[in-house]
Chain A
Amino acid sequence: MDQSLPTLTFKDFATDQEVRWCPGCGDFAILKTIQKVMPNLNRPKENQVFVSGIGCASRFPYYMNTFGFHTIHGRAPAIATGVKLANPELDVWVITGDGDGFSIGGNHMMHMIRRNVDLQILLFNNEIYGLTKGQYSPTSQTGTLSPSSPAGSIDSPLSPCLVSLGSGGTFIARSIDTESKHLSQIIERGSKHCGSSFIEILQNCPIYNDGIFEQVKNKKLAADFRVEVNHGDPIIFGKDNKKGIKLNRESLSLEVVPVAGNEDQLLKHDERNKVQAQLLASMKGPDFPIAVGVLYKEERNLFIEDNQKQLRKHRSEKGSVKKLLESGDTWQVK
């Protein structure tokens, strides 16, 4: 990378704005992690652009001392695509929440992912609407009690990672707000990936959905309810790593099996395997642990790069307005 860049610390990425999230919000941890990870990316600070929509998560750009655009509900993907089309040199980050990204902005999310625009998408998924005071979201579990669903929500939730996979995502990962080290690694990998890097961050809302990820986050419970997948490694979890994931080749489904006696048959994580990524992304409690890590990665043609290629091709000879006006059939009047 560029060796001439000044050495930066996380403080260079903090603004003077008072951070206005509720005490205990998972967003604080994510902010801190991203501010810390930015210097490691070794990219010019003035090239960093954070674009967000509306919601608690979308306040994020105000707290990053980079370029930032807090836009309108659900539309950050479209605005970010415009930013990148106008200047491909920029590092564009889309900050969104489960309501912003997968309810009102679901359409744009899908298209940003399928186009493989070169940018990072950070989804702060707390499975609830926070800023509008606690209504159920498209990722809320069925039965969620909320002001708009006093008898329990009857919607089935969607899985952001599965939607991304179905949309043709080329980098799909999942991490956790308070797992700073893991989240940093995922973000670094995502930022290096060429394409639309989709990162779902499970984030606790202490006010309206407190403890929804307790099993995944609680150090005591997490061993049984969370599995970290790493490319090439067998997928094992549980206290003392005694449980593993095996592929049932008959039913094309996953099974939790004891590691002992199944050592040869344990599923090894292959982040290039789309079918496997779908199975891993689908895993959830109580029968399965939730998978975190890079679930899927592929190299595919880049939207922005292809756009630039076309522009370069057409611009080998610069257009002249004067010539354009005189092109085609003209006639003289004397």
Chain B
Amino acid sequence: MQSEEEKIGDLGLEEKEAIVVRFAGDSGDGMQLTGNNFTQATALYGNDLSTFPDFPAEIRAPVGATFGVSAFQIHFGAEDISTAGDDIDVLVAMNPAALVTNLENVAEGGLVIVDRGAFTAKNLNKAQYDSNPLEDGTLEGYRLLSIDIHKQVLAAVEPFGLSHKDGLRCKNIWTLGLIMWLFDRDRSVTIKNLKSKFANDPTVAEANIAALNAGHAYGETAELPVGIHVYKIPKAKVISGTYRNISGMQALAWGFLAGSELANIDLLFASYPITPASSLLHELANRKEFRVNTFQAEDEIAAVCAAIGASFAGSLGITSSAGPGIALKAEGISLAAASELPLVIVNTQRGGPSTGLPTKTEQSDFNMALFGRHGDTPIPVIAAATSADCFDVAIEAVRLATKYMTPVMLLSDGYLANSSEPWKIPDFDSFASFKVKHYDDPKDFKPSIRDEETKARVWAKPGTPGMEHRIGGIERSFDTGDISYDPENHQKMTDLRKYKVENISSDIPLQEISYGNDSGKLAVVGWGSTYGVIHQAVKRAVKEGLQVSHIQVRYLAPMPSNLGQLLSSFDAVLVPEMNTGQFIRMLRSEFLVEAEGLNKVSGQPFKINEILASIYKKYKGLEG
């Protein structure tokens, strides 16, 4: 051990501007709770941060199983943080399974903290370790802090008279205390959280607080290996203002509430539970003091249909799901397009096809979003880039749906939904309203009256005298709105539906460069949740003097009118996507650009180094 320490020397964390910590344990070990509390403390400390909860599909997998490992990763530091980080600087492994599934991602010389008490023969066997990795040299090259947390936590909670089992349940909080010591975090928010979480059981609350303090005290008093001491990560330099942490789903839900205020319209959010989309339903169901009503439908089809019914009745219908559920909604979306009713569909993408990887992230529903309907049925498609961006994108979806009387698809994904970041709270008073006006003039009324500019059909709601009319999925006459099988009329209506969506490109911002110059050798073009990782990779490349720029596209259909021209200002285009190359096909066919894809479908987000390596490779080719 001594020689190992000499070889690695100090952890070197103080030289780092940013740190990645990953808490990993059994799905019942409370790793998400641990991570969330550490996140809060870190935000209050003043670091910028980004988090990524990574949990299994099984609710309670067998204890100790590798497929039951639940993890929470946080990346924090002084620089602008926009990803959950690549290599892990500090891994907390609560059992052998957590170690075996995460060790390969720990940086060379990184700190591995394990609960030795969980490294029993049985657990080692479950993690398919032939011998104990704490003793057999597996951890050579890493800094190991092996503590019998079982023993420590039981001693800490002994005065509270908890059962052995309940006592051990505090071990995540003990570990949190230790990590808080390591990074000099304030425990008071966690103490407040524990008191509120266990308000009905003050003994359990006190036991957890004792465990938290004991973990912290262990760091202060135990004789730890050389190099393990308190690290003070510099605070981030950020714009002044009031900040909060926000997850993608929270931002999305709040964005819809904000959108309903700005549009001055009621919302009906109709949805069917599905991972990882359900939390949107939960959040909105708890916000009935706003103009939102929620409906848990009997299935995905009923959910989209109830939303359409609400839109027909004058509210804005919103439905939400993940890939398989969106597939079921396709016929309903086409009805909304045909009958020209507003509708917002949120797709929180996950790994596919079929059930695929329900809890893992992917961007493989791009094609379905743009083309996954029968008939010529174009609809606007927009994608959120970061957790905080979900707020603005939700508002934009409400604006487009109500202004253009069209279904709008909003793409998020499992990573965005669950990850959180600090968010400078915007001044809501400064948001421009886009009030909806329901049509109510009975003079010569027909449902086919259109707005001159947008070509959107009038929105006349039931309950308004003189507005009685019929709509439906059968093709309607352009002139009267009545059923029409006339060949020329179908041509006209098909052209109209296409025009209506394409015309939206004149009502959206021009594409901006996210980072770098507006021309150069290489443009790295992304959409959705790859924003953060591309941003970091391009920033590093630019720092090294490469002429690389980052373009992140929010409007996928219609695309910004200047995007093609922008792409042609670069010698080459690189398109990282968490699919086999869907957006790139669109860019190639629309703009005839020579784009190259970087594709990853492992269920895990890209790492900065993966993008960076691809930038280097592509760039080398350009110079050669």
Contact (A62, B483) CB under 8 Å given A45-B468, A107-B298, A321-B257: yes
Considering the complex, which residues of chain B in the window 421-448 have a beta carbon less than 8 Å from any beta carbon of chain A? 424-426, 428-429
Q: Which of A68-76, A222-230, A243-251 contacts B (4 or more CB under 8 A)?
A: A68-76
Tell yes or no: B268 within 8 A of A by CB.
Answer: yes
Contact (A331, B467) CB under 8 Å given A17-B483, A90-B313: no
Contact (A46, B470) CB under 8 Å given A86-B268, A107-B298, A108-B302: no
B469 touches A68 (CB 8 A): yes
Tell yes or no: B79 within 8 A of A by CB.
Answer: no
B44 touches A49 (CB 8 A): no
In this complex, how many residues of chain A approach chain B with their Cβ under 8 Å: the count is: 59
A326 touches B288 (CB 8 A): no
Tell yes or no: A51 within 8 A of B by CB.
Answer: yes
Tell yes or no: A311 within 8 A of B by CB.
Answer: yes
Considering the complex, which residues of chain A in the window 161-179 have a beta carbon less than 8 Å from any beta carbon of chain B? none
Chain A residues contacting B297 (CB-CB under 8 Å) are: 78, 111
Q: Which of B50-58, B160-168, B242-250 contacts A (4 or more CB under 8 A)?
A: B242-250
In chain B, what residue has the closest Cβ to A45? B468
A69 touches B471 (CB 8 A): yes
Chain B residues contacting A75 (CB-CB under 8 Å) are: 301-302, 305, 332
Considering the complex, which residues of chain A in the window 44-66 have a beta carbon less than 8 Å from any beta carbon of chain B? 44-47, 49, 51, 54, 61-62, 64-66
Would you give the 0/1 interface string for A79-96, flagging 1 where the beta carbon is closer than 8 Å to chain B? 111111111011000000
Tell yes or no: A262 within 8 A of B by CB.
Answer: no
In chain A, what residue has the closest Cβ to B288? A314
Tell yes or no: B67 within 8 A of A by CB.
Answer: no
Q: Which of B254, B310, B429 contacts A324 (CB 8 A)?
A: B254
Chain B residues contacting A311 (CB-CB under 8 Å) are: 288, 293
Tell yes or no: A318 within 8 A of B by CB.
Answer: yes
B474 touches A70 (CB 8 A): yes
Contact (A326, B425) CB under 8 Å given A51-B309, A319-B289: yes
Q: Which of B199-207, B457-465, B494-502 contacts A (4 or more CB under 8 A)?
A: B457-465
A49 to B424, CA, bound (A): 46
A87 touches B426 (CB 8 A): no
Tell yes or no: A322 within 8 A of B by CB.
Answer: yes
Would you give the 0/1 interface string for B460-490, flagging 1 where the beta carbon is closer than 8 Å to chain A? 0111111111111110000000110000000
Tell yes or no: A232 within 8 A of B by CB.
Answer: no
Chain A residues contacting B428 (CB-CB under 8 Å) are: 321-322, 325
A80 to B268, CA, bound (A): 13
Tell yes or no: B450 within 8 A of A by CB.
Answer: no
Chain B residues contacting A71 (CB-CB under 8 Å) are: 305, 308, 335, 472-473
Most B CB contacts (10 A, CB to CB) among A45, A47, A71, A77 go to A71
A89 to B461, CA, bound (A): 12
A86 touches B309 (CB 8 A): yes
Would you give the 0/1 interface string for B256-285, flagging 1 where the beta carbon is closer than 8 Å to chain A? 011001000010101000000000000000
Tell yes or no: A252 within 8 A of B by CB.
Answer: no
Contact (A307, B293) CB under 8 Å given A79-B309, A322-B429: yes
Q: Which of B147-155, B233-241, B575-583, B586-594 contacts A (4 or more CB under 8 A)?
A: B233-241
A316 to B287, CA, bound (A): 13
Tell yes or no: B317 within 8 A of A by CB.
Answer: yes
B305 touches A319 (CB 8 A): no
A87 touches B462 (CB 8 A): yes
Chain A residues contacting B561 (CB-CB under 8 Å) are: none
Considering the complex, which residues of chain A in the window 283-334 have a beta carbon less than 8 Å from any beta carbon of chain B? 307, 310-311, 313-315, 317-319, 321-322, 324-326, 328-334
Tell yes or no: A21 within 8 A of B by CB.
Answer: no
Chain A residues contacting B425 (CB-CB under 8 Å) are: 325-326, 330
Contact (A324, B257) CB under 8 Å given A68-B470, A317-B289: yes
Chain A residues contacting B464 (CB-CB under 8 Å) are: 46
Chain B residues contacting A80 (CB-CB under 8 Å) are: 309
Tell yes or no: A15 within 8 A of B by CB.
Answer: yes
In chain B, what residue has the closest Cβ to A326? B425
A226 to B254, CA, bound (A): 58
Chain B residues contacting A84 (CB-CB under 8 Å) are: 309, 313
B468 touches A107 (CB 8 A): no
B242 touches A319 (CB 8 A): no
Tell yes or no: B606 within 8 A of A by CB.
Answer: no
Q: Which of B241, B245, B254, B295 contacts A82 (CB 8 A)?
A: B295
B470 touches A62 (CB 8 A): yes
Chain A residues contacting B92 (CB-CB under 8 Å) are: none
Q: Which of B261, B313, B471 contacts A70 (CB 8 A)?
A: B471
Chain B residues contacting A45 (CB-CB under 8 Å) are: 465, 468
B305 touches A85 (CB 8 A): no
Contact (A90, B463) CB under 8 Å given A324-B257, A333-B241: yes
A69 to B470, CA, bound (A): 6
What 18 additional pairs, Cβ within 8 angstroms, besides A78-B309, A333-B239?
A: A46-B467, A47-B462, A61-B470, A66-B468, A67-B468, A69-B312, A82-B308, A84-B309, A85-B293, A85-B295, A86-B315, A87-B462, A321-B428, A324-B257, A325-B244, A326-B244, A326-B425, A331-B46
29 contacts between A and B (CB under 8 A): A17-B482, A46-B466, A49-B462, A54-B473, A65-B468, A67-B469, A68-B472, A70-B470, A70-B474, A72-B335, A78-B302, A82-B306, A82-B311, A85-B295, A85-B309, A86-B310, A87-B313, A87-B461, A87-B462, A87-B463, A90-B313, A307-B293, A311-B293, A314-B288, A315-B289, A318-B290, A329-B40, A333-B238, A333-B242
Task: Give A residues with C-beta under 8 Å from B.
Answer: 15, 17, 44-47, 49, 51, 54, 61-62, 64-72, 75, 77-87, 89-90, 107-108, 110-111, 307, 310-311, 313-315, 317-319, 321-322, 324-326, 328-334
